Structure 1
Amino acid sequence: MSTQLRLDLPVRTALGRRDFFVSDANALAVAQVDRWRDWPSRKMILTGPAKSGKTHLCHVWKNEAQAEIVPAEALPHLPIPALAQTSVCVEDVDQIAGNRDAEEALFHLHNMVLSEGHSLLLSAQKPPMHWDLRIPDLKSRMMGTDVAQLEKPDDQLLAAVLNKLFTDRQIVPMPDVIPYLVRYMDRSFDAADRIVELLDSAALGTPRGVTRALASKVLKGLDISEEHP
């Protein structure tokens, strides 16, 4: 039997609105972002664990609001007055806590975007009370911003995330693989990302690709706590 050959294909992450799966775990946050025209003070903070869809939802908002997306750590190197001429999404704001240059740049961007009548979306893993910001005026503005929280995945969302991760890697697993993973894997977005990456590598040279047996082998290698066949 011939073995499956590896093609050096890029991982193509789908970031369109139709690619974002809505379940009970994220419906409220999605609705809050969708109502961006009604945000109090025209700003919102989007939080959630790693790989929970923050970047995807930020890109959805970017397209709807005709906004720019920038990483928080890049702010000291960007022309803030020019950037503030449109709506802006700043990603990973919690990562700049203690970086005075980046905090000052965010403070000025925040004020300029809102004074120009535009909207501001900020993303982070946790709410601003956990950011340990050093500039008091910036901290007070962040603490006064409404938060949209992406929750941990339920079964429906976890299955959709796994399906998307496989699709991004142009992998078609056997039909029983995703239900099996949902039942036995650690329930986190980060775990889903790692498992799909490991299955992609483990399937190299195998005749059947990603099977339930291969998924079981990968999960056992990760030493998860639940028993699984």
Structure 2
Amino acid sequence: MPAQRALIRPTAQQLRLPLERPLVGEAFVTSDSNAEAVRVLAGWPDGVGSVLALHGPAGSGKSRLAADWAERLGAVPLNGAEAALVDPLELEGRPVLLDRAPDADDESLFHLINLANAGGGALLLVSRSAPRRWSVALPDLRSRLDAVRTVEIAAPDDLVLSAILRARFAERSITPAEDVIDYLVRRLDRSADTAATVVERLDALHRPVTRILARQALDQMADPTGADND
């Protein structure tokens, strides 16, 4: 038995690996910022290639879109460095989702790509940057990553950011007026994390959510030391 196979690793069935997902029932909003990624994943695997990379900035919805894909196909969900815990041969012929793909070690990533390219399976890689920008040491892995088909998801546009804000408010049983949503969309960074932070700040103020209160929350985020001087 080769040295690299001497270690018996847990099978995919034995593992219970976490996959980050939003609240059940929360709709994924399609817009210009993600329409191409939605279209590609809806029809993939499609015979064009067995490995696909979905990349985009933090908070763009790529993990959510990938999780929907994994659920639809019954894919095995892996998260970054956890790929090393699975014997790749246990995944042969199965669709696999690897979120935070650059966090996987070179050997695990190399084996996963080879298995997907061998036929019968599929590997969806999720990351902030395209595979050609990942830092790897194995030359063979470098060449495989450079050849991976990619699709990009952009930062949330107004439509998506509005939906994110409404969802975060709904989680806290807050129903702001529509002009509050519009006010925040025009002023927030294009990030789901930023949207969640401002909603948390507004909820903590324990007052009806108006544009004036929204401005106060934004001021606090911009200058926490002067928050009491509004």
- TM-score, length-normalised on structure 1? 0.79
1:166 aligns with 2:169: yes
Taking the TM superposition and a 5 Å limit, the aligned residue runs for 1:85-100 are 85-96=93-104
**Secondary structure in 2 matching 1:222:** helix
Matched positions, count: 203
Q: Residues 215 and 139 of structure 1: is their aligned pair in 2 closer, same or farther, counting only changes over 3 Å? A: same
> Which residue in 1 is equivalent to 2:44?
36
Q: CA deviation at 1:36?
A: 0.3
Which of the residues 53, 58, 68 maps onto 1:45? 53
**Secondary structure in 2 matching 1:36:** coil
**Secondary structure in 2 matching 1:122:** strand
Q: CA deviation at 1:59?
A: 1.2
1:104 aligns with 2:112: no
Q: Residues 188 and 117 of structure 1: is their aligned pair in 2 closer, same or farther, counting only changes over 3 Å? A: same
> Which residue in 1 is equivalent to 2:130?
127
Given that residues 69 and 89 in structure 1 are in contact (C-alpha distance below 8 angstroms), is that contact kept between their aligned partners in structure 2? yes
> Which residue in 2 is equivalent to 1:26?
34
Q: Deviations over 1:20-53 (max 9, x none)?
A: 1000111011111112032522221000111111
* Structure 1 residue ranges, 4+ long, deviating more than 4 angstroms after superposition: none
Q: Residues 107 and 219 of structure 1: is their aligned pair in 2 closer, same or farther, counting only changes over 3 Å? A: same
Taking the TM superposition and a 5 Å limit, the aligned residue runs for 1:3-14 are 13-14=22-23
Q: CA deviation at 1:207?
A: 4.5
> Which residue in 2 is equivalent to 1:67?
75
**Secondary structure in 2 matching 1:90:** strand
Which one scores higher on RCO, CA 8 angstroms, separation ≥ 6? 1
Cα distance in 1 between the residues matched to 2:76 and 2:24: 15
Cα distance in 1 between the residues matched to 2:111 and 2:174: 44
Q: Residues 171 and 88 of structure 1: is their aligned pair in 2 closer, same or farther, counting only changes over 3 Å? A: farther
> Which residue in 2 is equivalent to 1:220?
219
Q: CA deviation at 1:162?
A: 1.6
> Which residue in 1 is equivalent to 2:180?
177
> Which residue in 2 is equivalent to 1:118?
121
* Unmatched runs of 5 consecutive residues or more in structure 1: 1-11, 97-101, 225-229
> Which residue in 1 is equivalent to 2:194?
191
**Secondary structure in 1 matching 2:45:** helix
**Secondary structure in 2 matching 1:40:** coil
Choose 49-58 or 179-188, whichever is displaced more: 179-188
Q: Residues 125 and 67 of structure 1: is their aligned pair in 2 closer, same or farther, counting only changes over 3 Å? A: same
Q: CA deviation at 1:88?
A: 0.2
Given that residues 90 and 121 in structure 1 are in contact (C-alpha distance below 8 angstroms), is that contact kept between their aligned partners in structure 2? yes
* RMSD (Å) for aligned C-alpha atoms: 2.2
Which of the residues 148, 151, 155 maps onto 2:151? 148
Choose 67-76 or 80-89, whichever is displaced more: 80-89
- TM-score, length-normalised on structure 2? 0.79
**Secondary structure in 1 matching 2:178:** coil
Q: CA deviation at 1:169?
A: 4.4
Q: Name the % identity.
A: 36
Which of the residues 79, 82, 88 maps onto 2:90? 82
Q: Deviations over 1:90-116 (max 9, x none)?
A: 0011234xxxxx210111122123325
